[in-house]
C-alpha cells in the first residue's frame, strides 16, 4: 500500500448544469496533495470503483425532483463507491478493510465510521455492493415484487433491459414464472438478453422507426402486457402502454430517455392515460431509497442466487478516474451491458 502521505486527492467537481449531453464545461478535475489528518472516530478511504448511475442526471435538473433542490454546484459529484480503508481512528475499522460509501467522485474521503458499510469479499464480489446487492438490485427486486407483482404465466416487459436494473428485473421476473420480453438498443444486447439472461423474447427498439412499429412487434410476440417495468420512457413507453392487459401494472423506475433535457422542458408525447381507464391499470413510481431499510429482505433471497451463479450480474468497467464524466454520458448512448463502473 502506498503511504497515505504521498497521495494525490483527485475530485470531480460539478461546475455547471448540463442541458443536453455532458461536456468539458460541466465538470472540473481538481488534484491536490491528500490531507491524511483524521479526528477520533474517522476513517480515511481510497475509492476503487465508482458507480455511474442515471439518477445523477435527475439530480442535475433545476426543477424539483425527488430532492427539493438540485445537486449543488461546485461540490464533488455525489455517488456510491467501493473503497479500501487506508487509515482508521474508528473502532472496528482497520487499514485494508473494504467498505462501500457515498463519498462521490473523489479518490479519497475522510468519513465517520457510521457513513461506511463493511463489505466481506468472501461473501460476494466487492462490486456487487454497487450492483446486484446494492441500489440497482434493490430497485429491481422491490420495484418488481412490490409494484409489478408478476404472476407465473404473465407477460412482463422490461425497457432498458440490458442495463443494471433491467437485466436483474428480467431475471427476477423469469424466476417468478413470467414470460419476459426485454427491450434494448442493438442486436448484440438483444442476443445477450435471450442467450445469456434467458429472456423469452428481445426487441431492438432502434430497429423500429416509431412507436407504432415497435408496438406491433411487441404485440406480435407477447399478445399483451401484464407488467411493464419502465426504465426508459419516451417512444418505448408510447409503444407499450396501448398494449396493456386488464389490471396491468406499470412500474416507473426510470425515464432515461428524458434525462438529457426532458426533465427541464418536457418533450411532447401522445396522451395515453385513457388506456389506464380502459384496462383499470396502475402506474406506480418506485425509488430505491424507499426500500433501503429492507435490504435484508432482498439479500436473504438474492445473495444466494448471486453466490451460486443463478443470477447473471454483468458489469462494464471503464478504467480511469478521469473517465467519470464520459462514463456518465455513455450510460445513455453506449454499448455497455449491466452495471457501469469506473475503476480507479
Q: In which element (H, E) is residue 181 found?
A: strand 179-184
CA distance 180 to 193: 10
Return the SS3 of 343.
strand
Q: How far is the CB of 193 from a second copy (least distance, A)?
A: 23
Beta carbon nearer to a second copy, 131 or 233: 233
CB of 334 to a second copy, least distance (A): 22
User: Among 50, 131, 147, which residue's Cα sits nearest to residue 299?
Assistant: 131
Contact residues for a second copy, defined by CB under 8 A: 58, 63-66, 230, 233-234, 237, 242, 252-255, 258, 262-263, 266-287, 290
Buried b (16+ CB within 10 A) or exposed e, 306-326: beeeebbbbbbebeebebbbb
Q: How far is the CB of 301 from a second copy (least distance, A)?
A: 22
Question: d(Cα 217, Cα 110) in Å, to the nearest integer?
Answer: 52
Q: Which is nearer to a second copy, 24 or 277 (CB)?
A: 277
Q: Which residue has the cell 414470460?
A: 179
State phi, psi for 192 to the nearest 5 degrees.
Answer: -65, -40
Specify the 3-state DSSP secondary structure of 184.
strand
Cβ-in-10-Å burial (0-12, 13-18, 19+) of 28 comes to middle
- Pick 18 or 234: Cβ nearer a second copy: 234
Q: What minimum distance in Å lies between the beta carbon of 249 and a second copy?
A: 10
Min. distance of Cβ 252 from a second copy in angstroms? 5
The distance of closest approach from Cβ of residue 148 to a second copy in the complex, given in angstroms and rounded to an integer, is 13
Which of helix, strand or coil describes residue 338?
Answer: strand
Greatest Cα pair distance, the chain, in angstroms, is 66
Decide: 194 and 202 in contact? Cβ < 8 Å: yes
- Name the residue nearer to a second copy (CB basis): 192 or 228: 228
Measured from the CB atom, the residue of 118 and 280 that comes closer to a second copy is 280
Closest distance of CB 40 from a second copy, Å: 38
* Three-state DSSP class for residue 84: strand
Pick the closer one to a second copy by CB: 236 or 318: 236
For a second copy, the closer of residues 38 and 287 by Cβ is 287
Contact indicator for 102, 51 with CB cutoff of 8 Å: no
Strand 8-14 to 27-33 pairing:
antiparallel
Q: How far is the CB of 233 from a second copy (least distance, A)?
A: 6
- In terms of CB distance, is 77 or 255 closer to a second copy? 255
Of the pair 66, 207, the CB lying nearest a second copy is at 66
Residue 337 CB-half CA count within 13 A: 16
The CB-of-99 to a second copy minimum distance in angstroms stands at 29
In whole angstroms, what is the distance from residue 344 CA to residue 331 CA? 18
* Length of the chain, in residues: 344
Q: How far are the Cα atoms of 14, 249, 302 from residue 314, in angstroms, in the given order?
A: 28, 27, 15
Amino acid at each position: 500500500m502506498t503511504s497515505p502521505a504521498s497521495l494525490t486527492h483527485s475530485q470531480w467537481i460539478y461546475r455547471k448544469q448540463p442541458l443536453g449531453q455532458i461536456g468539458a464545461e460541466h465538470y472540473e478535475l481538481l488534484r491536490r496533495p491528500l490531507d491524511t489528518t483524521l479526528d477520533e472516530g474517522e476513517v480515511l478511504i481510497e475509492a476503487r470503483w465508482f458507480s455511474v448511475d442515471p439518477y445523477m442526471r435527475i439530480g442535475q435538473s433545476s426543477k424539483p425532483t425527488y430532492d427539493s433542490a438540485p445537486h449543488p454546484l461546485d461540490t464533488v459529484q455525489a455517488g456510491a463507491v467501493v473503497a479500501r480503508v487506508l487509515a482508521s481512528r474508528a473502532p472496528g475499522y482497520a487499514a485494508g478493510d473494504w467498505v462501500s460509501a457515498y463519498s462521490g467522485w473523489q479518490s479519497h474521503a475522510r468519513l465517520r465510521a457510521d457513513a461506511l458499510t463493511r463489505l466481506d469479499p468472501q461473501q460476494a464480489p466487492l462490486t456487487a455492493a454497487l450492483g446486484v446487492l446494492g441500489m440497482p438490485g434493490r430497485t429491481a427486486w422491490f420495484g418488481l415484487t412490490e409494484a409489478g407483482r408478476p404472476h407465473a404465466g404473465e407477460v412482463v416487459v422490461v425497457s432498458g433491459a440490458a442495463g443494471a436494473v433491467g437485466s436483474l428485473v428480467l431475471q427476477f421476473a423469469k424466476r417468478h414464472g413470467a414470460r419476459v420480453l426485454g427491450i434494448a438498443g442493438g442486436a448484440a444486447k438483444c442476443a445477450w438478453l435471450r442467450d445469456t439472461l434467458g429472456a423469452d423474447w428481445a426487441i431492438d427498439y432502434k430497429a423500429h422507426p416509431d412507436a407504432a412499429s415497435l408496438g406491433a412487434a411487441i404485440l406480435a410476440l407477447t399478445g399483451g402486457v401484464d407488467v411493464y417495468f419502465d426504465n426508459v420512457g419516451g417512444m418505448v413507453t408510447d409503444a407499450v402502454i396501448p398494449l396493456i392487459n386488464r389490471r396491468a401494472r406499470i412500474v416507473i423506475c426510470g425515464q432515461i430517455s428524458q434525462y438529457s433535457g426532458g426533465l427541464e422542458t418536457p418533450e411532447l408525447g401522445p396522451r395515453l392515460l385513457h388506456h389506464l381507464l380502459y384496462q383499470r391499470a396502475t402506474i406506480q413510481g418506485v425509488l430505491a431509497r424507499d426500500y433501503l431499510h429492507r435490504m435484508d429482505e432482498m439479500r436473504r433471497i438474492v445473495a444466494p442466487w448471486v453466490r451460486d451463479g443463478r443470477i447473471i450480474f454483468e458489469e462494464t468497467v471503464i478504467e480511469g478516474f478521469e473517465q467519470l464524466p464520459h462514463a456518465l454520458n455513455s450510460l445513455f448512448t453506449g454499448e455497455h451491458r449491466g452495471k457501469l463502473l469506473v475503476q480507479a
